[in-house]
Amino acid sequence: MEKKKDKIGVYICNCGTNIAKVVDAEAVARYAATLPNVHLAKTYKYMCSNPGQEMIAEDIKENDLDRVVVAACSPNMHERTFRSALRMAGLNQYMLEMANIREQCSWVHKDRKAATKKAMALVSGAVQRVLKHEALESMSVDMNPSVLVIGGGIAGMTAALELADAGNFVHLVEKDDHLGGNIARVDLTAPYYYSAVDLLSERMTRTFEHKNIQVYLNSKLTELSGFVGNFAAKIQKQNGLSEDEAKAKEVAIGNVAICTGYKEFDASRVTHYGYGKLPNVITSFELENMLKSGKVETKEGKIPKYVAIVHCVGSRNKEFHTYCSRVCCMTALKYAHEIKSANPECYVSDVYIDMNAFGKGHEDFYRQSSKAKTLFLMYDKENRPVIHKAGPKDDCEMLIEVHERLSGEHIEIPADLVVLMVGMEARDDSHEIAHLTNISQDKDGWFIESHPKLEPVATTTDGVFIAGTCVAPKDIPDTVAQARAAAARILARISKGKIEIDAVFAEVNEDVCSGCRICNVMCPYSAIEFDEEKKKSHVISALCKACGVCVAACPSGAIKGRHFTDQQILAQIEGIFSKVEYSEPAEVS
Amino acid sequence: MAIRVNPGYIEVLDKFGAEDVQMCYQCGDCSTVCAHADDIFKFPRKSMRQLQMGLEEKLETSLEPWLCYYCGQCSEQCPREADPGETMMSLRRWLISRYDITGIANQFFNSRTREILTVLLIAVLTGIYLTFYGISGGSIHVYDGEGAFLPSSFIHTFDLTVGGIMFLFLWLGALRMWYFSMVKGMSIPVPWWLYFKKLYEIPFQFITQKRYAECENNGNSKLYMPWLVHFGLASGYSIMIILIMVFVEPLQAGPEIVWPLHIFGYLATIGLLIGCIYFVRQRIVKTKHVQYKKTHSTDWMFVILLIIITVSGIVQHILHRTGYLEAANITYVIHLMAVVPWLLRMPFSKWSHLIYRPMAMYFAEIQREAVVRQQKLVDPLSITIK
Ligand SMILES: Cc1cc2nc3c(=O)[nH]c(=O)nc-3n(C[C@H](O)[C@H](O)[C@H](O)COP(=O)(O)OP(=O)(O)OC[C@H]3O[C@@H](n4cnc5c(N)ncnc54)[C@H](O)[C@@H]3O)c2cc1C
Ligand code: SF4
Ligand code: SF4
Ligand code: SF4
């Protein structure tokens, strides 16, 4: 059968005045209509609106269009929208090309004539390119309902229980010899004084006893291969005694939840606080221990008359970490309260930079602490307190010298016991986890979410989720909320049974591949595997993000980026370089 | 040199009535709303801070508490219910105890029992002394003139002695205030002639209480009631003191009424009565004026004595003019039994503000001008009043 002539519809969007203000959209449409194969060219105020999309769908049906060019905003913004318009009209969604005449034209140019000519060139390129588009089908793969949870703190246990209660099998890997994480080291929790043990114990028992949860203590993940829906994970027991234990266990899973938490800042790094030198300078965790034992006293066994709590140790300064650790302010208030109620004769000074009481119940908690006569003293971020030993005539052990901002005075605070509110830090081995699961870390070592506002628990690796304090410092309620969110995201995928994979990915033509393996190391998503038998590289389409690095790298030209083929790109370039003419119409008053 | 913070000092001020100062988180709303705070005298926020931190010396040398008239605007604005107005009041009480070298004020403010016992003791001693004097030299049946139970010349000397003791303590206190604020607390030079230039402040502030009237009227009535009442009470008080100290002899003579003189006595009595009634009413029927919400026990002692004095004064006056001379003499003894502790208590109680406040304002104006002068000389930012 003779191939019928392709019919292209071109749609120029005004984007209100965003485009039309600088680009003469009508002229672009008139120009587009003259291009080969273009059947019709139209402008519209908002192409992405429902009437706009319906217009495109109607035109496709009525005029038998088989390719569409939309000249509008960035494809990042609305490619999905117009793809769905094509599907609505029964056309393959890949028969669309967008020309970005907003971000790349009207928003960055002032000269109307030049901008209009540029828009014409971009449309010409899109028209040439779309002629080379091929109909592609997206694939779907089965989802393995088992889940790997890394870290057995409050986040890990919460996520595991949520998933297991819904009937899915969970492998929970914890590197310590017990569950509970950092909360197991805390006495009472701010701001409601719930006992940390109570919060944990029910969860720990349930986790151990759950028929759908397998807990691996003293263990670590050593390898993760495969892709979303079908990962294979190797779990290695640390210091395993028997031969059987020394062997890594391999499990098949569909998704991973990383809940590896934080470690506390090492207070001895701040030299002028004298931690490790002055015996009665302790960290918040050491105080938690004292509170647990019910005795707050100095190393000499005396009840302290003056206790000073110093905030932001290791947090919020250029030398160590610039971020706020978020929980220490409220924890400090908790200490002030607990110390005062254990020993009413004691005076507590709270030396802070800002009181970050942002959460539910926190401001009231702060108020209560004022009521209990805590003396709040404010210091400057760039001008930290200095702790030194008091003289023999002083009625206290140590003196804290600091410039107090609210009074403007240079003061010294008496103290028998100093509590350093150590901040949170990414764990030393967090880069190992990042590497194994192929996710990114920020400059401080926290794992990066795929969108800081809208995707707080997803990562750029499909099927790998993050929750709790391994993402950033947070308190228990926020940690638990994230853990449940990650579990919910995984459950939604499990319940679908299969997952759709975009048809845009790289493909290796095995006949041409020389087996040089250059592409294997270049791929930033570890999406290329090497078939040792055939000695050929192979792209795992589910992992490929279609960045195109391998396509460019392959010395044999064996890799084709689907939807980004050489022919398509060359045609587009040719189109852009075609000659365009535009003379501004006479000014209409 | 770093100043030592004293986290425990807040407990000391607690006794003087600053019960809520720990709630302050230094937002500064109070200083913004206060009609009297300015760039140089930053209160109540700054005073709240110094108190929280227990900066005793800073507080002792500060005049700010005296610049506050307790209109209560700040306490109404405070988002933390830290009651800055009451804190300023408490600081005034505390300052009075600091200015007082005898330590009596401190005892009174800290123990209600000790105060009541002292007042009772002085009253009883006065009663015994007067009765003894009356019986030994005169007759209970005679009120004035020859053989009078309490002759007016004797009363005159008696009044002057008691008044003299009172003023001695007050001026000693004022001297200490000068030393604390103008010597110990000043880091910049004060030219001597400023003391003369600003001298008018003392009588001016004493008589008009003008700054009180500047306190924001909540917009409820044209006349600011607390100021009016205070004005009535203060003038009644002052006129009475002048009458007693200077004119007691013609005043006591009778039974005819010397109108050019007695009219002042009547007016003053009315002023005092209204003042007392208002004081009691505001504290019993709790009103919108925050300054009446809390009352230190020492305030009650003052009013109770004043009521006794006023009522017994009226009764004695009537009894004298109507010829019940024995009863008049007895009432007179009772009257004086209240007057003496009341006068002697003055320098050790809140009411010493009668002298301290105008003095403080005088010193404050000198400080202000000294600071402004200095600012013109050197870098404006380096100026501080310690
Ligand atoms: C002094 C202090 C007091 C606090 N008090 C309060 C409070 O009163 N109220 C409040 O809401 N919050 C409080 N917090 C915050 C609270 O500790 C955290 O919100 C909470 O612990 C976060 O839980 P998580 O599960 O994210 O991390 P974690 O508790 O750190 O748990 C992480 C777990 O993962 C394991 N793990 C780590 N790496 C690996 C690996 N590679 N492989 C396997 N397992 C691994 C760890 O061993 C650990 O068991 C306090 C924090 C501090 C520092
Ligand atoms: S929560 Fe408070 S103490 Fe902790 S880092 Fe932030 S500001 Fe500092
Ligand atoms: S009570 Fe009135 S005068 Fe006193 S500090 Fe408050 S606002 Fe100022
Ligand atoms: S308004 Fe209240 S909280 Fe704010 S500074 Fe004044 S006293 Fe403190």
The answer on pLDDT for B274 being more than 80 is yes
The answer on pLDDT for A127 being more than 70 is yes
Contact A370 B53 (CB under 8 A): no
Rounded to an integer, the average pLDDT of A480-484 is: 98
Cα distance between residue A180 and residue A174, in whole Å: 10
Structure confidence at residue A243 (pLDDT): 67
pTM for the model stands at: 0.80
A166-176 pLDDT, tens per residue?
Answer: 999 999 999 99
Degrees to nearest 5, angle at CA B89 with B87 and B95: 100
A45-71 pLDDT, tens per residue?
Answer: 999 999 999 999 999 999 999 999 999
Amino acid making up residue A277: K
User: Residue A413 in contact with residue A349, Cβ under 8 Å?
Assistant: yes
Exposed, middle or buried by CB within 10 Å (0-12, 13-18, 19+), for B260?
exposed
A485-515 pLDDT, tens per residue?
Answer: 999 999 999 999 988 778 899 999 999 999 9
Please name the residue whose Cα sits nearest to atom 22 of ligand 1. Answer: A469
Find chain A residues with C-beta within 8 A of B5's C-beta: 349, 375, 377, 404, 411-414
Characterize the bridge pairing of strands A230-237 and A249-253: antiparallel
The top-scoring range by mean pLDDT among A225-229, A542-546, A559-563 is A559-563
User: Residue B43 in contact with residue B37, Cβ under 8 Å?
Assistant: yes
B84-142 pLDDT, tens per residue?
Answer: 999 999 999 999 999 998 888 888 888 888 989 999 999 999 999 999 999 888 888 88
B34 in contact with ligand 3, CB cutoff 6 A: yes
Task: Give B281 Cα–ligand 4 centroid separation in angstroms.
Answer: 29
Nearest atom within ligand 3 for CA of residue B67: 3
In the 8-state DSSP scheme, what is residue A383? Answer: B
Based on C-alpha coordinates, what's the Rg of chain B? 23
In the 8-state DSSP scheme, what is residue A298? Answer: -
Contact A373 B49 (CB under 8 A): no
Q: Which of B106, B272, B113, B102 is nearest to B170 (CA)?
A: B102
Min Cα–Cα distance to chain B from A472, Å: 29
A26: Cα separation from own chain's centroid: 43
Structure confidence at residue B23 (pLDDT): 95
Of A374, A407, A410, Cβ closest to residue B49? A407
In the 8-state DSSP scheme, what is residue B256? Answer: S
Cα distance between residue A115 and residue A12, in whole Å: 14
Measure Cα distances from A51 to A57, A276, A418 in Å.
10, 71, 68
B139-194 pLDDT, tens per residue?
Answer: 888 887 778 888 888 989 999 999 999 999 999 999 999 999 999 998 888 999 99
Confidence of residue B235 (pLDDT cuts 50, 70, 90): confident
Chain A: residue whose CA lies nearest to B2: A411
Contact B22 A374 (CB under 8 A): yes
Contact A349 B7 (CB under 8 A): yes
Compute the mean pLDDT over every residue in chain A, rounded to the nearest whole number.
93
* ipTM for the predicted complex: 0.83
Sequence-ordered alpha helix ranges (H) in A310-354: 328-342
Given CB atoms, is B244 within the 8 Å cutoff of chain A? no
Rounded to an integer, the average pLDDT of B274-289 is: 75
A559-569 pLDDT, tens per residue?
Answer: 999 999 999 99
B103-114 pLDDT, tens per residue?
Answer: 888 888 888 889
A105-114 pLDDT, tens per residue?
Answer: 999 999 999 9
Given CB atoms, is B53 within the 8 Å cutoff of chain A? yes
A253-295 pLDDT, tens per residue?
Answer: 999 999 999 999 999 999 989 999 999 999 999 999 999 998 9
A89-105 pLDDT, tens per residue?
Answer: 999 999 999 999 999 99
Contact A401 B23 (CB under 8 A): no
Of A347, A409, A410, Cβ closest to residue B7? A347
In chain A, the domains with their CATH numbers are: 8-136 (3.40.50), 147-262+426-499 (3.50.50.60), 267-425 (3.50.50.60), 506-562 (3.30.70.20)
Given CB atoms, is B25 within the 8 Å cutoff of chain A? yes
Exposed, middle or buried by CB within 10 Å (0-12, 13-18, 19+), for A401?
middle
Find the length of chain A.
Answer: 589
| CATH number of the B9-99 domain | 1.10.1060.10
The answer on pLDDT for A241 being more than 70 is no
Query: Is residue A163 helix, strand or coil?
Result: helix
Query: Is residue B319 helix, strand or coil?
Result: helix
Structure confidence at residue B234 (pLDDT): 80
Contact B5 A413 (CB under 8 A): yes
Structure confidence at residue B384 (pLDDT): 52
Structure confidence at residue B224 (pLDDT): 59
Domain ranges of chain B: 9-99, 104-362
Report the share of chain A in percent with pLDDT over 90: 85
Exposed, middle or buried by CB within 10 Å (0-12, 13-18, 19+), for B182?
middle
In the 8-state DSSP scheme, what is residue B200? Answer: T
Structure confidence at residue A1 (pLDDT): 47
**Which H or E element spans position A28?**
helix A25-33
Structure confidence at residue A587 (pLDDT): 60
Find chain A residues with C-beta within 8 A of B53's C-beta: 375, 377, 404, 407, 409, 411
Of B5, B22, B26, Cβ closest to residue A411? B5
Hey, CA dihedral for A298, A303, A306, A308, is it positive or negative? Answer: positive
Q: Which of A33, A538, A469, A436 is nearest to A231 (CA)?
A: A436
Min Cα–Cα distance to chain A from B16, Å: 16
Find chain B residues with C-beta within 8 A of A346's C-beta: none
The answer on pLDDT for B386 being more than 50 is no
Chain B: residue whose CA lies nearest to A407: B49
The answer on pLDDT for A589 being more than 60 is no
Structure confidence at residue B272 (pLDDT): 86
The token pair at B91 is 């600081």
Place of tokens 């650790």: A325
Place of tokens 């009226």: B314
The token pair at A326 is 């978020």
B302: Cα separation from own chain's centroid: 10
Give backbone dihedrals phi and psi of A63, rounded to 5 degrees, phi first: -100, 5
Of A374, A406, A410, Cβ closest to residue B3? A410
